[in-house]
Amino acid sequence: MSKVAIIITGDVRNCSTKDVIVRQFEDYDVFCGSYKKHGDYISRIGKVNKSVLIDPDTDIRFPKGLDKTNMQHNMLQWLHLDNVIHKFKDELLEYDVLLKFRFDCRVTGGEFKETLKNLRAEQGVVHSMGDCSFYAEPRTFFRAFEDFYDTIQDGFLHKNDMDNSFEKSWKSEAAFTENLKIKQLVDKRPLFFRFSLDRGGYHKVTADGNKRLYDGTKLLGKFT
C-alpha cells in the first residue's frame, strides 16, 4: 500500500461533489489551499487535515514580476498550490505520491479507490489530465511546481499589453504543459480515473478565468 497525500486547491463550489470528497478521502492525509470562509467544511476532509486558508481581500500574493493589473482569476489555483507546497514541503516529501485534486472534481469512471491505495509514480513523470488533476512522486512534483507560480510572468506574452481579451490572456493549461517541457518532465496522460467538473450553482462563462481579477483595487468575478 502506498503512502499517498491528497492536495486539494481552489474555491469550494456549492455542489454535491463537495460531500462526496469528504467520504472519498476520509482515509487519507489531505492538504488544502483555499479561502477562510470554507474553513468549517474543509476541516471535515481527510484522516489528517492541514490547510492554508486565505482572505482574498488581504492575502492574495501576486506572482513575481506581475501586479494586480495583470492578475487573472485562473492564476489563483496556482497561488493556493504554492501556499500548500511551501508551508508543508518537509512533510509532503515523506509521501510516496502527491495527488493534486479540485473541490469540484467528480470521479465518473475508473477503479479510483483501489488504484489510489497502491498508486505509484516514476521519477521524472507527472501523470495528468492537464491542470485539473495530476500526480507525481514528491521530488518530481516539487521540481515541477515549487517555482511555477512565481514564473507565471515568463510565459505571459502579453503582460505589457493585456487588454482583457482571451487572446492576450495567460492560459493555465498551456502554461502547465510548457512548464513540464521546460523542466524536461514527462506529461503522461490520461489519468487512472475519469472525472467531470461539478460547478453546482456557479454559472460558468466561457474563459471567465482568463479575465482580470481586479478593477483598480476592487476584486471582480466570483468575489463581487
Residue 96 included in any domain: yes
Dihedral (CA of 190, 194, 200, 204) sign? positive
Residue 58 included in any domain: yes
The three-state secondary structure class of 35 is strand
Q: What is the pLDDT of residues 144-196, one digit of tens each?
A: 999 999 999 998 988 888 888 999 999 999 999 999 999 999 999 999 999 99
Residue 10 included in any domain: yes
CATH code assigned at 8: 3.90.550
Residue 165 included in any domain: yes
Domain around 173:
4-218
Cα separations in angstroms, 209 against 29, 167, 169, 213: 29, 13, 10, 9
pTM of the predicted model, to two decimals? 0.95
The Cβ of residue 220 has, within 10 Å, a number of other Cβ atoms equal to 14
Among 25-39, 57-71, 162-176, 197-211, where is mean pLDDT lowest?
197-211
Residue 188 included in any domain: yes
Q: What is the pLDDT of residues 28-57, one digit of tens each?
A: 999 999 999 999 999 999 999 999 999 999
As a whole number of angstroms, the distance between CA 50 and CA 61 comes to 20
Strands 48-54 and 125-128 come out as unpaired
Tell me how many domains the chain contains: 1
Residue 224 included in any domain: no
Residue 79 included in any domain: yes
Residue 223 included in any domain: no
As a whole number of angstroms, the distance between CA 197 and CA 107 comes to 9
Strands 29-35 and 4-9 come out as parallel
